[in-house]
Amino acid sequence: GAVVSQHPSRVICKSGTSVKIECRSLDFQATTMFWYRQFPKKSLMLMATSNEGSKATYEQGVEKDKFLINHASLTLSTLTVTSAHPEDSSFYICSARAPANTEAFFGQGTRLTVV
């Protein structure tokens, strides 16, 4: 099946710094990628839809200036958590869909810890 690679898998950063997470579709082109956040023992919460070549679409309640999304190419989307705070600590997962009528494939996820 299609492969989505997410990097890094784990990151620890200091409060106030910014962290960039990459999501790559390895064997297909993805015009749309999705970014999710998952709190412990909770389900996936969609943060934003990343659109290649245009601005991301954010879900209600998600701060676009805090969670910067860039989808510069058909195989790469990045999520930057700016000025991170301990409450941003979470598991972030991206997903991408191969051409129409197929399931969404997920990256391995990134566990962010802000200290």
Partner 1 sequence: EDKVVQSPLSLVVHEGDTVTLNCSYEVTNFRSLLWYKQEKKAPTFLFMLTSSGIEKKSGRLSSILDKKELFSILNITATQTGDSAIYLCAVEESQGAQKLVFGQGTRLTINP
**Closest residue by Cα to residue 38 from 82, 88, 86, 1:** 88
Q: Which amino acid is at 13?
A: C
- Assign 3-state DSSP to the chain and report helix, strand, coil percentages, each to 5: 5, 55, 45
Considering only residues 7 through 26, tell me which ones interact with partner 1, judged by CB under 8 A.
Answer: 9
- Token pair of 84, please? 């991170």
SS3 66: coil
Residue from 17, 55, 64, 103 in contact with partner 1 (CB under 8 A):
103
What is the closest distance, in whole angstroms, from the C-beta atom of residue 53 to partner 1 in the complex? 14
Considering only residues 15 through 74, tell me which ones interact with partner 1, judged by CB under 8 A.
Answer: 32, 34, 36, 41-46, 49, 51, 57
104 binds partner 1 (CB under 8 A): yes
Residue from 19, 88, 97, 98 in contact with partner 1 (CB under 8 A):
97
What is the closest distance, in whole angstroms, from the C-beta atom of residue 16 to partner 1 in the complex? 28
**Closest residue by Cα to residue 76 from 21, 11, 114, 39:** 21
- Give the interface with partner 1 as residue ranges (CB under 8 A): 1, 6, 9, 32, 34, 36, 41-46, 49, 51, 57, 93, 95, 97, 103-109
